[in-house]
Amino acid sequence: MRIAELERKHGGFYVPTAVIKVGGEDVLRDLYLAVSEVSVDLKEKAAARFSFTVASAFDWEAGEFLATRAKKRVDLLEQFAFGRKVEVGLGYGDPAKLGQPMLTGVLTEITTDFATGSTPTLTVSGYDDLYPLTVGKNTRHWENKPDSAAVQDVAGIGGVATDVRPTSPVKLTIDQNNLSDMAFVGELAERNGATFYHRNRKLYFGRRRNDASDIVELDWGQGLLSFRPEANLARQVAEVQVHGWSAAKGEVVLGRARRGEESGRDARKKSGGERVVTALSSTPVLHLRAAVHTQEEADARAKAVLEERGQDFVTGSGESIGVPEILPDTNVALGGLGRAFSRTYYVSAANHRLDANGYHTTFTVQEATI
Per-residue model confidence (pLDDT) at position 249: 81
Residues 199 and 57 in one domain: no
How confident is the model over 168-189, as pLDDT tens digits?
989 989 999 999 999 999 999 9
Could you say which of 129, 148, 165 is where a domain stops? 129
Treating both helix axes as pointing N-terminal to C-terminal, what angle do 272-280 and 295-310 enclose, rounded to 10 degrees?
A: 80
CA atoms within 13 A on the CB side of 34: 9
H runs (alpha helix) in the chain: 3-9, 76-79, 147-157, 181-192, 272-280, 295-310, 338-341
Per-residue model confidence (pLDDT) at position 325: 96
Could you give the C-alpha distances from 280 to 124, 234, 283, 337, 354, in angstroms and in order? 52, 12, 8, 28, 47
Residues 202 and 67 in one domain: no
Q: Is residue 4 part of a domain?
A: no
Per-residue model confidence (pLDDT) at position 69: 85
Could you give the C-alpha distances from 343 to 128, 145, 216, 219, 331, in angstroms and in order? 31, 40, 12, 10, 10
Residues 139 and 203 in one domain: yes
Q: Is residue 3 part of a domain?
A: no
Which residues 6+ apart lie within 8 Å of 211 measured at CB? 263, 264
Residue 307 exposed, middle or buried by CB count within 10 Å (0-12, 13-18, 19+): buried
How confident is the model over 85-143, as pLDDT tens digits?
999 999 999 999 998 999 999 999 999 999 888 899 999 999 999 999 999 999 999 99
How confident is the model over 29-56, as pLDDT tens digits?
999 999 999 999 999 999 999 999 999 8
Phi, psi of 151 (to 5 degrees): -60, -45
How confident is the model over 57-76, as pLDDT tens digits?
999 999 999 998 878 899 99
Per-residue model confidence (pLDDT) at position 68: 87
Q: Is residue 277 part of a domain?
A: yes
How confident is the model over 204-252, as pLDDT tens digits?
999 999 888 999 999 999 999 999 999 999 999 999 999 998 877 889 9
Residues 189 and 294 in one domain: no
Residues 223 and 328 in one domain: yes
Residues 19 and 116 in one domain: yes
Residues 142 and 249 in one domain: no
How confident is the model over 348-368, as pLDDT tens digits?
999 999 999 999 999 999 999
Query: How are beta strands 202-207 and 285-289 bridged, if at all?
Result: unpaired
H runs (alpha helix) in 281-325: 295-310
How confident is the model over 303-335, as pLDDT tens digits?
999 999 999 999 999 999 999 999 999 999 999
Domain that holds residue 151: 133-207
Q: Is residue 308 part of a domain?
A: yes
Choose among 98, 38, 87, 100: nearest CA to 358: 38
Total structural domains within the chain: 4
Per-residue model confidence (pLDDT) at position 279: 95
Residues 275 and 358 in one domain: no
Per-residue model confidence (pLDDT) at position 183: 98
How confident is the model over 261-289, as pLDDT tens digits?
888 788 889 999 999 999 999 999 999 99
What number of other Cβ atoms are within 10 A of residue 279's Cβ? 12
